[in-house]
Amino acid sequence: MEQIDYINTVKDKIKNKNQKYYILTFGCQLNENDSEKIAGMLEEMGYTKTDNISDSDLIIFNTCCVRENAEERLFGKIGEVKRLKEEKNTIIAIGGCMMQEKSMLEKIQKSYKYVDIVFGTHTIQTLPEDLYKVLIKRQKAKEILYIDGEIIEGLPIKRNDKYRASVTIMYGCNNFCTYCIVPYVRGRERSRHPNDILDEIKSLAQNGYKEITLLGQNVNSYGNDKFKYCKSKEAVEIDTFAKLLREICKIEGIEKVKFMSPHPKDFTDDVIEAIKDNPKISRMIHMPLQSGNSKVLKEMNRKYTKEDFLNLIDKMKTEIPDIHLSTDIIVGFPGETDIEFEDTLDVVRKVEFEQIFMFIYSPREGTVAASRDDQIPDDIKHKRFNRLKEIYDKQVEIQNEKYIGTIQNVLIEGPSKNDPNKLTGRTDSNKVIVFTPNGTEKIGEYVNLKITENHRWFLIGEIL
């Protein structure tokens, strides 16, 4: 509420000046969702979006610090915009996970003095005030906060898509996997009140949204914090992830529900039952493996063994026969031997994931794994990465062939990038299908397609 005055003052200040913002988001879907909220606030203040950085009056970088390469890219970008600052005094704002890291914040303040605003993951709601300070008071703004604050509800939001929407159900992470910086920059697990989540999804459904992706660092520990960070003190009945899934599936107009990411250690039977009972829940489940070796998993603090993971997958495949799986894998964790890495390949062969997000281990300052003195040399990390990729590529080829002749129900997303006369959509398992329209189908509606060809990175379909 206190930001409304700032919103109105900034709105007045930039009125009739055709002010434009450019926003660049690094990292995960949670950051994308934060950027949608940032865009929502900016549009409320009268800014309009541009995709041309040189044409903008306000540049926002929403940063990620999960791996080193995101940081390198950011510093490249900040260097590039110095010219714009000098030529036309463009306002430069940097927010997101990296700004929650003390060393990064200091680096920005020391070496990139032309940056006007820095804000953290927990202070995006103060952006109107930050802009007010820069535009009216001519001050720099720095709003980095302790990281376990009360959940802020009701921020305006400008969504990137008209049919698919992400809804953050919880913030933060309590797991402290030893390689991961997230718990340090995003704070403790904080679940949103189910009423706020359900209201948001109902309103999305009323506005024509069909697919919802529920977001959180560890969605299946939803409710474990007993909702103590919620502003609303209304009694909570929907206090587990399984119950939340069931309630969301009841919302009319929502055709598909996805979620990202669960943790294998918390994938309880009630969640499996909820998926089984609700065909609206996507059959593509993301199940981050990280490593297939029990010793490495222990050192990663993942709290499951190779056998636990394989048993869980077996159970899921038995209970939900049409399931597809995707995963995250890190290669080259400190101390990982060739033999231990073989276990990762073994799990990959056994599970046959449809999609693997592969990462080379990247030491993150302040984490337990980064301080180990048995870091793996880069050439070995790359060799392992390439071996994993080779196996994965072969599996993708075999899996794609299995789609030929099947019928897929897909949401029509829009014209194909390579051929505007064709349309595209995705299978439930996230494979792109390109097809020739027959004139009656509409973007944002579902269509049944028979798969006729496999082109490795996409499939060809025919309207039925």
Task: Point out which residues bind ligand SF4 (CB under 6 A).
Answer: 173, 175-177, 180, 182-183, 217-218, 263
Nearer to ligand SF4 by Cβ, of 256 and 302: the residue is: 302
SS3 content of the chain, % helix, strand, coil (to 5): 40, 20, 40
Which partner, ligand 5AD, ligand SF4, none, binds residue 62 by CB below 5 to 8 Å per kind? Answer: none
Q: How far is the CB of 149 from ligand 5AD (least distance, A)?
A: 23
Contact letters for ligand 5AD, residues 56-95 (x by CB under 6 A): ----------xx----------------------------
Nearer to ligand SF4 by Cβ, of 123 and 175: the residue is: 175
What are the counts of helices (DSSP H) followed by strands (DSSP E) for the chain?
Answer: 14, 20
| Contact (CB, 8 A) for 271 and 316 | no
CA dist 247 to 209, 221, 239, 278, Å? 17, 17, 11, 10
Q: How far is the CB of 251 from ligand SF4 (least distance, A)?
A: 28
Q: How far is the CB of 335 from ligand SF4 (least distance, A)?
A: 18
Which partner, ligand SF4, ligand 5AD, none, binds residue 362 by CB below 5 to 8 Å per kind? Answer: ligand 5AD
What is the rounded distance in angstroms from the CA atom of residue 213 to the CA atom of residue 128?
28
Residue choice 93, 157, 169, 180 for contact with ligand 5AD (CB under 6 A): 180
Which partner, ligand SF4, ligand 5AD, none, binds residue 142 by CB below 5 to 8 Å per kind? Answer: none
Query: Which tokens in the block code for residue 167?
Result: 């809804």
Half-sphere exposure (Cβ direction) of 300: Cα atoms closer than 13 Å: 25
Q: What is the CA radius of gyration of the chain?
A: 23
Nearer to ligand SF4 by Cβ, of 67 and 306: the residue is: 67
Backbone angles phi, psi at 233, to 5 degrees: -105, 15
Nearer to ligand 5AD by Cβ, of 58 and 289: the residue is: 289
What is the rounded distance in angstroms from the CA atom of residue 126 to the CA atom of residue 147?
14
| 107-131 burial: b if 16+ Cβ within 10 Å, else e | ebeeebeebbbbbbbbbbbbbbbbb
What is the total count of residues that contact ligand 5AD (CB under 6 A)? 12
- Residue 410: Cβ within 10 Å count: 21
Which partner, ligand SF4, ligand 5AD, none, binds residue 176 by CB below 5 to 8 Å per kind? Answer: ligand SF4
Which partner, ligand SF4, ligand 5AD, none, binds residue 218 by CB below 5 to 8 Å per kind? Answer: ligand SF4
Backbone angles phi, psi at 459, to 5 degrees: -115, 155
Which partner, ligand 5AD, ligand SF4, none, binds residue 359 by CB below 5 to 8 Å per kind? Answer: ligand 5AD
- 126: DSSP letter: G
CA dist 331 to 60, 101, 252, 297, Å? 32, 25, 43, 12
Nearer to ligand 5AD by Cβ, of 205 and 330: the residue is: 330
Select from 130-138, 162-170, 354-362, 378-386 the region that touches ligand 5AD (CB under 6 A): 354-362
Contact letters for ligand 5AD, residues 266-305 (x by CB under 6 A): ----------------------x-x---------------
Residue choice 147, 287, 330, 348 for contact with ligand 5AD (CB under 6 A): 330
Is 179 near ligand 5AD (CB under 6 A)? yes
Nearer to ligand SF4 by Cβ, of 167 and 260: the residue is: 260
Nearer to ligand 5AD by Cβ, of 66 and 388: the residue is: 66
Residue choice 3, 166, 168, 362 for contact with ligand 5AD (CB under 6 A): 362
Which phi-psi region, left, alpha or beta, contains residue 177 (left: φ > 0; alpha: ψ -120 to 50)? Answer: beta
Tokens 């030529």 belong to 87
Is 385 near ligand 5AD (CB under 6 A)? no
Which partner, ligand SF4, ligand 5AD, none, binds residue 221 by CB below 5 to 8 Å per kind? Answer: none
Closest CA to 275 of 253, 240, 242: 242
Nearer to ligand 5AD by Cβ, of 66 and 449: the residue is: 66
Residue choice 364, 381, 384, 426 for contact with ligand 5AD (CB under 6 A): 364
Residues 386-415 that bind ligand 5AD (CB under 6 A): none
Kind plus residue range of the DSSP H or E element containing 132: helix 127-135
Nearer to ligand 5AD by Cβ, of 179 and 341: the residue is: 179
Q: Burial of 91 by CB count in 10 Å (0-12 exposed, 13-18 middle, 19+ buried)?
A: buried
Which partner, ligand SF4, ligand 5AD, none, binds residue 330 by CB below 5 to 8 Å per kind? Answer: ligand 5AD
Q: What is the DSSP string of 211-257?
A: EEEEE-TTGGGTTTTTTTT-S-----S--SHHHHHHHHHTSTT--EE
What is the rounded distance in angstroms from the CA atom of residue 355 to the CA atom of residue 334?
25
What is the rounded distance in angstroms from the CA atom of residue 286 to the CA atom of residue 354?
10
Give the interface with ligand 5AD as residue ranges (CB under 6 A).
Answer: 66-67, 179-180, 288, 290, 328, 330, 359, 361-362, 364
